[in-house]
C-alpha cells in the first residue's frame, strides 16, 4: 500500500467524519468521486427485487433526476443486473465487468438505457450489514477513470460513506479492541508498502500467520481492507507513517 494512497484515504475519511451534516459529507464524497470521472451516485439498501417500495431504501439519491424517473417508471429495479450481482458479490466491480452474455434481455435494457442517460459505465461497492441485508454504493458516468490501484481506496471510502449516512456508529477511538504489539508491527509494515510475502520474510513467520493477523486486525478495526485498516489505526494513534 503506497503512502500517498494511505494519506489520501486518511485525509478523505477525516474530512467526511468532520462534516457537520450528512449533506456536507455527501458533498465531500461527491468531490472525491469526480476525481475518477464518477458524477452520479446512489447509496441504498437492497430490498428483495419484487419490493414495489424499493425506493424507500435509498439513503442518498445522487442520480440524475431524469434517469431516476425513467428507472422507477420502467420498473428497472426488478431487472437491474448490478443490484442482483451486489446481493451475491463480496468485492467491488465495474459495470462493464458484468458478463453481457449472461444478462437477460431486460437486464441489457437497463444497462443500455443507463448509457443513454450518460451512465455508460460505473462502479458498484456491495455492502453486507449483519442482520440488515445487502446494500450498495454505486456511481457512474459517461467516462470512468478508475485504475485498479484506486479500487481499495474507493471501496473503503464508499463503505465509510455508507456508515456515515446509514448507520449510527461509534467513533474510531471507541471502536474495537486495541491491537496487539505484533498486530501493530505487522500493520506498520503494511503501511510502508510491504506485501504479505514481504512481511512473512521480515518477521520470520508464515504467510498463513500474516493473513491470520490481517483478518484479526480488520475485525478489530471494523475495516474492509488493508488500506481502511491502516487509516483507522492511524486515527487511533496505533501506528505511524
pLDDT one-digit tens code per residue, 18-61: 888 888 888 999 999 998 999 999 999 999 888 888 988 999 99
Supply the pLDDT for residue 102: 83
CA-CA distances (angstroms) from residue 127 to 46, 84, 218? 10, 13, 15
**What's the distance, CA 236 to chain centroid?**
21
- pTM of the predicted model over 0.85: no
Written as nine digits, the cell of 100 is 453481457
* pLDDT single digits (tens) 136-150: 999 999 988 888 888
Provide the grid cell at 116: 443513454
Amino acid at each position: 500500500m503506497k503512502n500517498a494512497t494511505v494519506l489520501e484515504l486518511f485525509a478523505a475519511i477525516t474530512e467526511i467524519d468532520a462534516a457537520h451534516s450528512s449533506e456536507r459529507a455527501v458533498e465531500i464524497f461527491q468531490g472525491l468521486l469526480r476525481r475518477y470521472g464518477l458524477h452520479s451516485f446512489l447509496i441504498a439498501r437492497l430490498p428483495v427485487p419484487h419490493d414495489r417500495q424499493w425506493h424507500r431504501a435509498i439513503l442518498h439519491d445522487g442520480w440524475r433526476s431524469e434517469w431516476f424517473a425513467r428507472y422507477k417508471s420502467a420498473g428497472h429495479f426488478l431487472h437491474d443486473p448490478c443490484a442482483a450481482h451486489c446481493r451475491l458479490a463480496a468485492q467491488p466491480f465495474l459495470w462493464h465487468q458484468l458478463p453481457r452474455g449472461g444478462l437477460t434481455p431486460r437486464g441489457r435494457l437497463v444497462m443500455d438505457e443507463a448509457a443513454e442517460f450518460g451512465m455508460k459505465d460505473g462502479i458498484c461497492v456491495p455492502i453486507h450489514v449483519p442482520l440488515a441485508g445487502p446494500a450498495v454504493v454505486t456511481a457512474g458516468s459517461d467516462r470512468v477513470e478508475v485504475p485498479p490501484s484506486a479500487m481499495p481506496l474507493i471501496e473503503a471510502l464508499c463503505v465509510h460513506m455508507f456508515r456515515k449516512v446509514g448507520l449510527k456508529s461509534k467513533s474510531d477511538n471507541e471502536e474495537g479492541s486495541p491491537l496487539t504489539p505484533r498486530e501493530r508491527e505487522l500493520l506498520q509494515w503494511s503501511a510502508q508498502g510491504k506485501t504479505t510475502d514481504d512481511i512473512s520474510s521480515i518477521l520470520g513467520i508464515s504467510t498463513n500467520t500474516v493473513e491470520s493477523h490481517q483478518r484479526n486486525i480488520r475485525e478489530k478495526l471494523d475495516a474492509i481492507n488493508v488500506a481502511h485498516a491502516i487509516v483507522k489505526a492511524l486515527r487511533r494513534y496505533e501506528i505511524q507513517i
